[in-house]
Structure 1
Amino acid sequence: MCGMNAIRSPMAEVIAKRLLPHDIYVQSAGVRAGDHDPFVEVVLSEIGLTMPKRHQPRTLDELEDDYFDVIVTLSPEAHHQALELTRSSAVEVIYWPTLDPSVEGGTRDQVLEAYRSVRDELWRRIEARFARTGVQQEQRI
């Protein structure tokens, strides 16, 4: 979950769906819906991933399912909203402060490097926190 579900959280969703077993429900959302960001597709394609064609930035209220075991927040605003929403629930809320790469100025290459940095950091965090579970499950089969 991030501010507008346009960059960080959809990037995290695609990465998590790649790293985790397919039976784990993963969806991204934002505090408010933003606009599609083409740089996300560029940096995901560099590592062989793609945004689903049907992805449109969405809010938490727009998700089909509203039951989660874990919510990972990537911005202060999203973290605050997640804590408010889960105040009376047994949902783990994890805060991973993540820079919004769209604020990076400079050349196209400098902007892309900011997006790559976010992509790579999300990959590392998701793999470290969640992917081990999937690996262990696969080893038991």
Structure 2
Amino acid sequence: MNAVRSPMAELLARQALPATTFVASAGVRAGERDPFVDAVLAEDGLSLGERHPRTLDDLEDDYFDLIVTLAPEAHHAALELTRSLAVDVEYWPTPDPTNAGSTREQVMAAYRDVRDRLKARISGRFLNTEAKKATD
């Protein structure tokens, strides 16, 4: 629903990648902004600002070199969307933190885990690749 994992990934990728890299996130269904996302991003000095959840239909551009999906439903939708296009689709299984625990600290820990996994995955996929290209 473009409310938790995907907006986190979008913001973390925007922070890590060159400004010339187009990054956008969208969900299969419409969703509501999640305050826990704002809280864990604020711990890193980041903010989604006025950004609100978007669906695939809300995207202004439909040309991508790479689509990264974080949930099974999104992955299946991306494969269907791109079946006749020359687009790479990668699936990064990422846990849904919205069902984690009953205390605020348990929930925050789950959201932090997702944030940290996404940071590591973005770094490993894009930043280490760029560093390797520079030394080749």
SS at match of 2:89: strand
Match of 1:121 in 2: 117
Q: Distance in 1 between matches of 2:5 and 2:19?
A: 21
Offset of 1:131 from its aligned partner? 2.0
Query: What are the equivalent positions in structure 2 for 1:50-89 lying under 5 Å apart?
Result: 50-53=47-50, 55-89=51-85
Q: Which runs of 5+ in 2 are unaligned?
A: none
Structure 2 residue 120 is the aligned partner of structure 1 residue 101: no
Offset of 1:136 from its aligned partner? 6.8
- Measured on the aligned residues, the alpha-carbon RMSD in Å equals 1.6
Q: Distance in 1 between matches of 2:56 and 2:131?
A: 29
Q: Distance in 2 between matches of 1:64 and 1:52?
A: 19
- TM-score of the superposition, structure 2-length normalised? 0.93
SS at match of 2:90: strand
Match of 1:40 in 2: 37
For the 8 Å contact 1:21–1:134, the answer to whether it is kept is: no
Offset of 1:61 from its aligned partner? 1.0
Equivalent AA in structure 2 for residue 116 of structure 1: R
Equivalent AA in structure 2 for residue 129 of structure 1: R
Q: Which runs of 5+ in 1 are unaligned?
A: none
Match of 1:9 in 2: 6
Equivalent AA in structure 2 for residue 11 of structure 1: M
Equivalent AA in structure 2 for residue 132 of structure 1: N
SS at match of 2:67: strand
Structure 2 residue 18 is the aligned partner of structure 1 residue 21: yes
Structure 1, residues 15-62: CA drift from partner, whole Å, max 9, x if none? 000000000000000001111100001100111111121x11111111
Q: Count residues with an aligned counterpart.
A: 135
Offset of 1:6 from its aligned partner? 0.1
